[in-house]
Amino acid sequence: MAQRIVCTMMVRILLLGSVMALDVLGKPKFPDEEKNPSFWNMWAQRSLKQALQLQELNKNVAKNIILFLGDGMGIPTVTAARILKGQLSGQSGEEFQMEMDKFPYVALSKTYNTDAQVPDSAGTATAYLCGVKANEGTLGLSAAAVRSQCNTTQGNEVTSILKWAKDAGKSVGIVTTTRINHATPSAAYAHCADRDWFSDNEMPPEAVDAGCKDIARQLFENIPEIDVIMGGGRKYMFPMDTPDVEYPTEKQHFGTRKDGRNLVREWKERMKEKRAHYVWNKKELLSLNPSKADYILGLFEPSDLPYNLERNKETDPSLTEMVDVALKILKKNPNGFFLLVEGGRIDHGHHDGKAKQALHETVEMDRAIGRAGLLTSTHETLTVVTADHSHVFNFGGYTRRGNNIFGLAPMMSDIDQKPFTSILYGNGPGFKLIDGLRENVSTVDYQQNNYQAQSAVPLRFETHGGEDVAVFSKGPMAHLLHGVQEQNYIPHVMAYAACVGQNHEHCGSSSSSAVSPRPSPATTAISTLAAALTLAWLHC
């Protein structure tokens, strides 16, 4: 017993020492000016003045729409990623602003599927892209469709805002860090009774015989000329046992198609009279001249792209790099564009219990949001950032200001007298017992990229969470995304703002009277300078 008390005291001293060390290294728990009430009063007054300016609502018709979808990016993930991004820039993190934080309007989205309290990514994607709630596991189909039952497909198809925009003459694009025929991007173009029917190899024979199409086929057949397609999923496009161009000796990356079709070759043949390019690595992507490219098919991995922390920066493009090229191609269309961008591996990091991977994926998506903001104007571009669902991820433990987001809580369990990380999961693969007792995390490297945070319930894969997720918006009609809304409301707002789909009554000659004037260059310059001075003052 005495030995256990001594051990406990030593661990407490070490924890306290680590906090003190941060102070010694010049990283105080909070800046001295925060002790002065005038600091907080001035900050609040600046925020108030910015809020009062929002009374002049942007009622322009949205020429462009960008939807950023953080797969699994629940509110705790946003908060933790904010702290991480701040700490990566040398700050304590809590006071930092993500790019999405700067959006003037925030709503909550209810994510349940028609048959699930805690949803999956296919049913939710159908909601925020097609405008109708759907069953889990189904893509681009109403709730009358039953998962895995091919014969419930026909007659229950619903179309997405990507198709509505294409039909209205806009350019359209999909950029994702997952395979391009994964759940989120697939709902933009596919009608499939099962989200796992990536190619005909994954389909039951009776579904193939009944005429149901795999998702990879639908990518090229349902909306034949999607202007920009970037992500992974190469192996689903090639005949079975075709060696992969990047991994020619690794069988798990070989082509999967049983029908013998080479969908990439078919695409290239169909697009040969157009300025269309197929690329499969970063060098090819970045060597393109966007002014001379109207269509691009970029398949950068056989399956999903690697986590950003593990990305080969010579061969694998980042999400920000893909978004940059995509926008430069799409924005050439005088009718505007719709772009879906998915930070898809946030979800995978959480499922694996690897919080560090998930949060760095979120930070990278936020960088892409920032890049998109530089390439577009809020005068004519509606940008929406949201998530399909949350995860059973959280952080707590009464950590002090500036605590490493991947660090330990400054206390120990008063039950087993062991330390714990601030980040924890409700369930997942991080549940570990040693001799029947909870693992002592001080004996492992909990800062490593692939550390699996401790969980309360053992599961091979951590599960989604069921709470509402945030919807951030800026640009024309962004104020319509307010309050607590059903998830399927989102594409209806985007369509209304852009005058695509079913809402056109406001898009005639009367719409011109609702369009607020474009700010003058001088006004824009002054606003930009004021924002820069404010940011500098806050972080000096």
Helix (H) or strand (E) holding 48: helix 37-53
Q: Where are the alpha helices (DSSP H) in 173-214?
A: 183-186, 205-209
Q: Are 185 and 158 in contact (CB under 8 A)?
A: no
Neighbours of 19 (CB within 10 A): 16
Catalytic position from the list 92, 109, 121, 318: 121
Closest C-alpha among 313, 410, 330, 265 to residue 64 = 330
Q: Are 37 and 432 in contact (CB under 8 A)?
A: no
Helix (H) or strand (E) holding 126: helix 121-130
389 annotated as ligand-binding: yes
71 annotated as ligand-binding: yes
Closest C-alpha among 145, 119, 159 to residue 387 = 119
347 annotated as ligand-binding: yes
Known catalytic residue: 422? no
Q: Are 172 and 189 in contact (CB under 8 A)?
A: no
Residue with the two structure tokens 């993190």: 93
The length of the chain in residues reads: 540
What distance in Å separates the CA atoms of residue 301 and residue 220, rounded to the nearest whole number? Answer: 18
Closest C-alpha among 206, 99, 229 to residue 149 = 206
Q: Are 80 and 421 in contact (CB under 8 A)?
A: no
Q: Is 173 helix (H, G, I), strand (E, B) or coil?
A: strand
Q: Are 153 and 169 in contact (CB under 8 A)?
A: no
Residue with the two structure tokens 């790099």: 321
Closest C-alpha among 231, 224, 247 to residue 184 = 231
Strand stretches in 74-142, DSSP E: 105-110
- Which region, left, alpha or beta, applies to residue 160 given φ > 0 means left and ψ of -120 to 50 means alpha? beta
Q: Is 379 helix (H, G, I), strand (E, B) or coil?
A: coil
- Name residue 351's amino acid: H
Residue with the two structure tokens 């789909």: 501
Residue 458 is encoded by which pair of tokens? 């053992």
Q: Which residues are catalytic?
A: 121
Q: Which residues are annotated as a binding site for Zn(2+)?
A: 71, 347, 351, 388-389, 464
Q: Which residues are annotated as a binding site?
A: 71, 182, 184, 342, 347, 351, 388-389, 464
Q: Which residues are annotated as a binding site for Mg(2+)?
A: 71, 182, 184, 342
